[in-house]
A and B are shown apart, each in its own frame.
Chain A
C-alpha cells in the first residue's frame, strides 16, 4: 500500500517536472529562433534591401553576391544589429536582477539613477563643449562621459547600500539621486541653444544608429562576463525570492556581499549599454516579465538565459521598427520600446500572473 502510493506520487512529480522542462525548452527554442529571425531581418531590410541568401551568407562570415552589399552589411547593419542584440540582453538581465533584489515588479535598470548620471555627464560634455565653442562632439567622447556618469551613480548606490539596512530606503535614495542629477541636467539645458538641446534630447532617448564594430567589441567584452556573473548568482537570487530574512537565516546567504554584487552587476551592465546606445527604456522592465510569464516560473536559473534571449529579440525588433517605420526618418529606440514595452507591462500586471 505504502509502496504504491510512493510510486504514484513520484510519477506525478516526475510528470510535473517533465512538463515544466518541456515548456522551458519550447520557450528557449522560440526565443532563440526569434533572435535569429530579427537579426536576419535587421541585416536584410533597410533603404537597400538585401536578398535573404546573401544576408545569411554574410552573417556566417561569407561573401554576398555584390561587394556593395558586403560593405552595407559589414560596416553598417551587422554591428548595429549585434549592438542591439547585446544591449537588449544586458538590460534585460540588469532589470531582472533589480526586480528580484527590490522585490518589486515595476523596477527597471535605471531605478538607481544610472541613466540620470550618464545623462548628466553627457549634458556636460555635449552642451559644455558647444558652450566652449566646439562644433562637433565625437560619439566616443559622449560614450566616455556617459560611462563615467553611470559609474559615479553606481558608486553612490554602493556607498548607500553599505550604510542603510532597509532595501526600500535604498530604492528611495536611488530614485532621489536620479531626480537631483536630472535637475542638474536641466540647468545645463536651460543655458544651452535650442539646436544643441535637440541633439541632446535625441541622445537621451537612445539609439543604435552608427554603432561600430569596436563598440560591439567593448560591449561584448564587458557584458558577457557580467551576464555570466549574474547567472552564477541565480541560486542566491532564488533564495532572495523568500525575502532577506529567509535568505540569510535559513539559506546561509551572505546578504551584505550579495547586495553589493547585485548593485555592481546590474549598474555595470546598464552603464556599459548606456555608454554606447544611450538610455534605452522599457527593455529592462518588460523582458523579465515576458520571460517569467512565458516560462511560468520565477526560478532565476532559467529566467536569466531566457531574459538574455528575450532582451536580444525584443530590442532587435524595436530597432528594426525604429529604422523602418518612418524611413528615412529614424525614431529614437526608446520610442519603439515604449510602444511595445508599456502595453506589455500593463498586460502582464493586469493578468496578475507575474510578480517578481
Chain B
C-alpha cells in the first residue's frame, strides 16, 4: 500500500470541505476523483501533497505519517501536477523536466549523466522527446501538460498526484495523457491519483473511482461497479443528460416537441437519435431487440422504447403496442434499418404508417424502399442525409405548431 488516509478531514481554515476520507491506494493503481466543481477534489489532492494541512485524521505514505516526512523525502516519493499554469521564463522543456531531478541533484543542482538520461527517459515516456529544446512558453497546452508530466516522472516518484490533468486539452491530448498515465501505472508500477472531469475517460482508464459530493465520499470502487446511471445522475444532479454505463458516456436527454417515431435497429438509429435530441425533439422508437446498440442509446437519450427480448422475433403484442404509440407521433422516420427475419414486423409497422397518411420519412434510397415496401413506398418523403431530414422536419414542425 502506497498511500492511505484515516478519517481524513480536509478544508481551508475552519471550513471543512470533505470529511471521513478513507482512501487506500495500492502500488500501480490508477485512482480517479470525480465530482462536481467545488466538491473538494482539489482540496483532497492538495492535502495529500502537503500544500494544505489536514483539519483532522491522518495521511500515511508507505506507512509513514506524512507530517513526519522531510520535504526531500516527500519530493522523492510524490510528484505533483497542478492546474495552475506556470511561466518559467526562458526555460526549455528539457530544463523544466530537469527541475524534476531536484531532489537528487547536488547543492548547485548540476546534472550528472544519469540525470540527463532520466530526463530523456521521462520525455520519451510522454512522447515529448522532440520538444526538449523548445522553450516551455512556446509549447501548446497539450505539450506543456506532457512536459509537466515528464517533470513529475523525472522525480522517480511512487505516487503522482494530478489536479485535473486533462482540462484545457484538446481531444487528442486528453486521450494521450490518460493513456500515458495508464501506462505509468501498468509498466512502472506508479500509483496515480487524479481529479477528473470526463466520466467516460475515467471509466475506461481508472482502476478505482471515488465519487465526491456534499462534503463526503458518495461512492468508491471499481468504475464498473460504481458508475451507474443513477449514481452519476445523483453525483452531478443531471436531469437533462444521462450516463450510460454500457455506452460509457453521457447522452443528452430528449425533450420538447414531437414526438418523432423512429423505426431503427443495428445502429441505424444511433446518429438519428442524437440529431433529434440536439434539435429538441422527443423520441419514441421500436420495436428494438434488447441487445441492439440502438436500444441502449435510445434508453440513454431518454426515448420511449418498445422492445423485444433478445434473439426473438418481434411479437404481435410488441407490434400493436408500437402502433398505438405511433399514432401519437407527429411524424415517423425510417432510419434505414437492415431487414431480417427477426424484425420483419417493423416493415409492417412502416407500411401501417404510410397507409395512415402520417408524415413518413425515410433515409433509404428510392429503389431500395420500393424493393422493401412495394408500391406504397411512393408515399415516403425521401431524405438523402440526416441534415436534410432535420431541415425538413424542423420546418414541418414549425408548420404544425
Contact = CB atoms under 8 A, between A and B. Distances in A.
Given A9-B129, A301-B109, A250 B88 contact: no
Interface stretch (B78-86, B268-276, B297-305): B78-86
A31 B95 CA distance: 24
Interface in B71-98: 71-72, 74-76, 78-80, 82, 84, 86-92, 94-96
A297 B94 contact: no
Nearest to B103: A252
A248 B71 contact: yes
Nearest to B105: A235
A356 B89 contact: yes
B124 A9 contact: yes
Contacts of B204: none
B89 A292 contact: yes
Of B87, B95, B102, chain A has the most CB atoms within 10 Å of the CB of: B102
A234 to B, nearest CB: 6
Nearest to B76: A252
B50 interface: yes
Interface string B48-79: 01110000000000000000001110111011
A124 B49 CA distance: 51
A234 B109 contact: yes
Interface stretch (A43-51, A139-147, A237-245): A237-245
A9 B105 CA distance: 23
Contacts, number: 112
B91 A12 contact: no
Given A242-B99, A250-B155, A298 B84 contact: no
Contacts of A238: 99, 109
Interface in A211-265: 231-232, 234-235, 238-239, 241-243, 245-246, 248-254
Interface in B38-54: 49-51
Contacts of B50: 249
Interface in A296-312: 296-299, 301
Contact of B120 (A13, A103, A234, A248): A13
B120 A292 contact: no
A52 interface: no
A241 B90 CA distance: 10
Nearest to B134: A16
B137 A355 contact: yes
Contacts of B188: none
A353 interface: yes
B89 A254 contact: no
A244 B51 CA distance: 10
Interface in B359-374: none
B94 A13 contact: yes
A235 B108 contact: yes
In the A-B complex, the 5 residue pairs with the closest CB atoms? A235-B109, A298-B89, A252-B75, A252-B71, A16-B133
Interface of B: 49-51, 70-72, 74-76, 78-80, 82, 84, 86-92, 94-96, 99-100, 102-103, 105, 107-110, 116, 120, 124, 129, 132-133, 137, 151-152, 155
15 contacts: A9-B120, A16-B92, A235-B105, A246-B99, A248-B71, A249-B80, A250-B49, A250-B155, A251-B102, A252-B76, A253-B71, A254-B71, A292-B90, A298-B89, A299-B91
Given A251-B103, A253-B71, A297-B90, 15 more contacts: A13-B132, A231-B108, A234-B109, A235-B107, A241-B91, A242-B96, A245-B82, A248-B71, A250-B49, A250-B75, A252-B102, A297-B95, A301-B108, A355-B87, A356-B87
